[in-house]
A and B are shown apart, each in its own frame.
Chain A
């Protein structure tokens, strides 16, 4: 039953996609094939898919911890950028440092950068009660503007013919490839994150706290769980993971700091978190699916001259359908036993199910 709602949602999205392609004026069958199937047919496109899936899943795992505890971190995109910036400090400012230690330091700084940036909305919430949705989101715009300034301004590559990029990273500063030509070591980070998150949520007291805080805040207080500490913890974890994803993008596929370091992974991760029903394993699969939607968007742009913005349309639709199906299946069926009326009316069925 738990798997059913995402599956139905996906089916509905594909179904709607048929009509969208029709409306745009292309052969819907061909478009659906190019969008959903073609990226899976060749090894190099599959690698591309994995490359895209990795940051999305990494961020979504962190976000799932937040959302489970009713903390709404919408600013993962900004935390990603903050991590990218923080992790790029050494390669950009001290490019001569090129030894085995530089990459771990970059990664750690990336994590720290994401965490610090995420701490801002967290602290505003715990100290002043400010709504974290809007603050974390506003900070996304701020971060994007900041990296734009850096890349065009003080961090621009002096030998780069005035392109708005930093000096390309080199040697040890680059994230190593482990599979094929494109899949890098951050894929392993993702697998570790999935396993650790699963264990924490299912078996540990921290995972228990997260669930209680998300479902029944008064019961959480009664259990001695602190909402404020959890807000901080989940924001820091998700910020750190987003920051890690950010520096991995910059040190990996992109290879330098640019004005734009992410095509919206931080927002896609939100969808992945919900599609995966806030469950680490579900997120793994959902991330792969949404990476596919990015590939598909690029594919239809090249093959059929459709704007790649269609990716966002599909992603938004998918989230709508997931939410609708989820409620419909999960909530409605639970609706019957949870009603108070039958119980208040009498305890006729003692001992029966």
Chain B
């Protein structure tokens, strides 16, 4: 591994010059026995868009929280424009001139845009004045906002704008962005890049955390790569290939997926959805509008879409947790619109929801108990005359652990004790173990390390190859394009007509994300 470390005060070729806006020296952070950051050194120049790369769990979020004052380092020093500083809390960071746009927004749903922004500013001033400033600044940077909108009514992309404008109003010298494009359509991401370039040209630095290599290569001047809490490399991402960056991030050759096989036209339709519609289950939800879809045995169909466009509602209706008002659902030809979750499982369907803790698994339950959670009603002997057979659950845990390489410490720990990747492997493996004929999974590799992600995606491909119908709902376009046979887009509760994954382009997907008309084609929809 050739780690190119920067010499003290020196410059690398191609890097923007001057005194660093912010530099970190020997930053270490321990959580008990776990070392999240290990002797991290790096620096950010003025006007630089600096990428912080690393897979999930590499320590990026921890490092960034330290820079923002939300955490204190166990050891090490931070310097702001070459003077050592201590950043005890986010307010201090803001005073220095550091702004942060979190991955999980710190917004208040019931309050207006102006109120949300006021709460983040040290001296917000009069509300009337603040609203004017918001309107002005947001328009100036290409992120227009109405100060009186209520956050709950805004889309995810618009909410991110609020976070960004909130930062901009404090005239920062450094903006930290944590995985900003994970919730944006391709077009919205492009708009964001324009904004970032403008900021950089004004001398503001941007620390851009991401694991999306194409983006980083497109806009970043410099990249620091973290793995297992340590800096393993620094480079100019525009000079490197995506593959090289990926291998630096993961530390090994990235395992290639065995590609999915093309699907026969004569394969039976195993999951059939026709004209599915459902009103909003509650005021802040999304209504489903005339969704139709067919998934054949042996194929993987993916539904792309940015969060908040009806994915949750669609999943709940597919799994049986919610009943659709209109339309039909059939599994292997059997109408199951009126059936509950377990009846659908008995038809050999399996489901993996987006949220693993709290929905897919009970955090304080053991893994064996979590097996019983979804498999008590499938007539496989886990429940006899009302009495639960936990030993059977433990046996299944053993099988799944083997098959999916679940690292869990104890033989049967609580679900909350597992890491994100391992828990997801367990949750997917628990359903995979039943050899389901229809498999519906939402955000299969969200927040999961690269190794686990590959294992999970391989399982989906294998399942399809064995003849099952696999439906994947995902926000990760790279993943979708890697494993799918066909792709559809969900937007505002409508589903586009599925297209061949090898033919559709990102631009077309992006267009569909902005709106789908009644015939399943892209284009703005009046709503």
Contact = CB atoms under 8 A, between A and B. Distances in A.
Interface of A: 203-206, 208, 211-212, 215-216, 218-219, 221-224, 336-339, 341-353
Given A222-B374, A343-B420, A344-B56, A208 B369 contact: yes
Given A205-B383, A342-B36, A345-B36, A223 B341 contact: yes
A94 to B, nearest CB: 39
20 contacts: A204-B387, A205-B376, A205-B388, A215-B363, A216-B362, A218-B355, A222-B373, A224-B342, A224-B377, A338-B363, A338-B416, A342-B32, A343-B419, A345-B31, A345-B62, A346-B228, A347-B421, A348-B34, A349-B33, A350-B407
Given A341-B62, A351-B407, 18 more contacts: A204-B386, A216-B362, A216-B363, A219-B362, A222-B374, A223-B373, A224-B342, A339-B31, A341-B71, A343-B57, A344-B57, A344-B61, A345-B29, A345-B34, A345-B57, A345-B59, A346-B36, A347-B407
Contacts of B319: 222
A226 to B, nearest CB: 9
Contacts of B369: 208
Nearest to A339: B31
A336 B416 CA distance: 11
A338 to B, nearest CB: 5
Interface string B340-374: 11100000000101010011111111000100111
B410 interface: yes
A212 B376 CA distance: 13
A329 to B, nearest CB: 15
A348 B387 contact: no
B229 to A, nearest CB: 5
A205 B386 contact: yes
Interface string B420-433: 11100000000000
Nearest to B370: A219
3 nearest A-B pairs in the assembled complex, by CB-CB distance: A345-B36, A224-B341, A342-B31
Interface of B: 29, 31-37, 56-59, 61-62, 71, 228-229, 319-321, 340-342, 351, 353, 355, 358-365, 369, 372-374, 376-377, 383, 386-388, 407, 409-410, 416-417, 419-422, 447, 449
Given A219-B358, A351-B407, A346 B229 contact: yes
Contacts of A346: 34-36, 57-59, 228-229
A345 B362 contact: no
A352 B61 contact: no
Given A212-B373, A218-B355, A218-B358, A341 B36 contact: yes
A342 B34 contact: yes
Contacts of B359: 216, 218-219, 222
Contacts of B376: 205, 208, 223
Contact of A212 (B58, B362, B383): B362
Contacts of B365: 211-212, 215
A347 B33 CA distance: 12
B70 to A, nearest CB: 10
A331 to B, nearest CB: 11
Nearest to B342: A224
A33 B264 CA distance: 85
B57 A347 contact: yes
Contacts of A211: 362, 365
A205 B421 CA distance: 29
Contacts of A347: 57, 407, 419, 421-422, 449
B218 to A, nearest CB: 26
A339 B358 CA distance: 15
Given A208-B369, A347-B407, A222 B386 contact: no
A33 B417 CA distance: 47
B374 to A, nearest CB: 6
Contacts of A204: 386-388
Contact of A219 (B360, B409, B417): B360
B409 A203 contact: no
B32 A336 contact: yes
Contacts of B341: 221-224
Given A205-B388, A219-B358, A337-B417, A224 B36 contact: no
B138 to A, nearest CB: 31
Contacts of A205: 376, 383, 386-388
A346 B447 CA distance: 12
A276 B383 CA distance: 28
A350 B320 CA distance: 36
